[in-house]
Amino acid sequence: MTYQPEGWQEPTLAANLARAGVKRRDFLAFCGSLAAVFAMGGVATAGAPPATADEIADKLGAVTKPNVVWLQLQECTGCMESTLRSGGTTVEELVLSLLSVNYNELVMAAAGDAANKALDDTNAKDHLLVVNGSVPVKENGAYCVIGGKSAEQVLRESAEHATAILAVGACAVWGSVQASKPNPTGAVGVDQIIKDKPVINVSGCPPIGEVITATVAYVLSHDGALPKTDAEGRPLFAYDQRIHDSCPRRPHFDAGQYVRTFDDNGARSGWCLYQVGCKGPSTFSPCPIFQWNLHTSWPIGAGHPCIGCTEKEFFDRFTPFYQVLPDVTGIGIESTAEKVGWGLVGATVAGVGLHAGLTAARQAASRRSAAAAGPLQAFGDSEREWRPEPTSTDSGSASASTASGMPSATTAPEAPSEGTAPQTRTDSTPPGTPPDATTPGDEAGKAE
């Protein structure tokens, strides 16, 4: 037991900030960013207006170190890595330092009986519970055992006196990779085990570090009150908006400018990634706003389509990752208007012509979306997968191809030459190029 002089009190965050030489102005700037984030999702409690920077600073500054149990169950430690890299300023680092993390398998020095005792001692008093990883329930939990106890047993014991429970990461929220078909371990999320207390789901694989720290800061600065959540238990201040709605490439989607393969002109020009499998239209996440690695970049910014990792069952629902997401409305406002306009030249009845043009454009877009865009196809390599190798006797012979059981030259597109994009994906043009003067019918013919 640590000796403490009589009358000694745990220093508050404000005292720690002053000791570290952080000015209140900098702390207020940090709290102002939190206030803006919280206001985005309308997270005020009981209809009250969102807290101001001064209010958050006063409440957060008065907080002393709360006890924290940070469990790591079936997971890869990526969520903890993301958390450790969330801060870029002294203030953010001190907010993390404000937590008295008495148990965390990844970063704690204690091991064996000492670690188990630290967990038992903290579980016996009020604490904040953070969970990474899924809970396996098959075979009586034998797939994840900690100190001779199953992950489910450890979770239930840790949740008993928890004042707030945060499930951090896709594994803890719904099971993630482990819960994907056929789910051999019976992996489930935290809220499938803990039913008698609310669980805040901070989803993502892994979540953005700032979202994790902001969620913790909200609980600490609102006297333990939990933020408003969506239907899946995710904080509204972070998960109330689709990536598609805030994506900097959205204008290209509206203009009908899509990347078709990762080596075409559209990819080099930063066009929309929808046609190579981007799941942004169905994914709720603040990635375009917070970004990653101290706001350095994020997947779409780096040229890779979103895989929808903040959504439940994304491994089963969104794979193959490079296949086009079906049934996304809005096939390209500018592009469609241009094509419809060419189709309406000379039309005598504008209303009838507009309806016909839009119908044809939608049909063309539907046919384009229906074509599979698997990983090989997205990289422009799919045609080579099924064409027969040419020989000295049957090279270029349609009959030889038919006899061998492979598609003939009359039923298959020509294989792309070296350094050339596949014929079915040559419609990307550099920005600024005037749209082709084609009618919707012509566009449909190309798609076919």
Which residue ranges make up each domain of the chain?
64-239, 245-385+424-447
Question: In whole angstroms, how far apart are CA 382 and each of 259, 372, 421, 423?
Answer: 16, 10, 11, 12
Residue by residue, pLDDT tens for the chain (448 residues) are 445 556 667 788 788 778 877 788 888 887 887 777 777 655 544 455 667 888 888 888 888 878 999 999 999 988 888 877 766 554 556 566 678 889 998 888 889 999 999 999 999 999 999 999 999 999 999 999 999 999 999 999 999 999 999 999 999 999 999 999 999 999 999 999 999 999 999 999 999 888 888 898 888 888 788 888 999 999 998 999 999 999 999 999 999 999 999 999 999 999 999 999 999 999 999 999 888 877 888 999 999 999 999 999 999 999 899 999 876 665 444 444 334 334 434 443 444 444 445 445 555 554 444 444 444 444 444 433 434 445 444 444 444 444 444 433 333 334 444 444 444 434 444 444 444 444 444 444 444 4
Whole-angstrom CA distances from 73 to 153, 172, 174, 229, 265 are 11, 8, 13, 24, 44
Phi-psi region of 396 (alpha: psi -120 to 50; beta: other; left: phi over 0): left
What is the rounded CA–CA span in Å between residue 293 and residue 310? 18
Cβ(416)–Cβ(381) under 8 Å?
no
pLDDT single digits (tens) 197-219:
999 999 999 998 888 888 988 88
For position 20, what pLDDT does the model report?
Answer: 75
Evaluate whether 11 touches 64 at the Cβ level (below 8 Å): yes
pLDDT, position 383: 39
Q: What is 64-239's CATH number, 3.40.50.700, 3.40.950.10, 3.40.50.261, 3.40.630.30?
A: 3.40.50.700
Neighbours of 312 (CB within 10 A): 17
Determine the pLDDT at residue 48.
55
**Alpha carbons 194 and 180: distance in angstroms, whole number:** 21
Q: Model confidence over 16-49: pLDDT tens digits? A: 778 877 788 888 887 887 777 777 655 544 455 6
Q: Could you give the CA distance from residue 448 to residue 442 in angstroms, rounded to a whole number? A: 10
pLDDT at 400: 41
pLDDT of residue 41: 57
pLDDT tens digit sequence for 59-77: 888 888 789 999 999 999 8
pLDDT at residue 329, rounded to an integer: 61
Homologous superfamily in CATH for domain 245-385+424-447: Cytochrome-c3 hydrogenase, C-terminal domain (4.10.480.10)
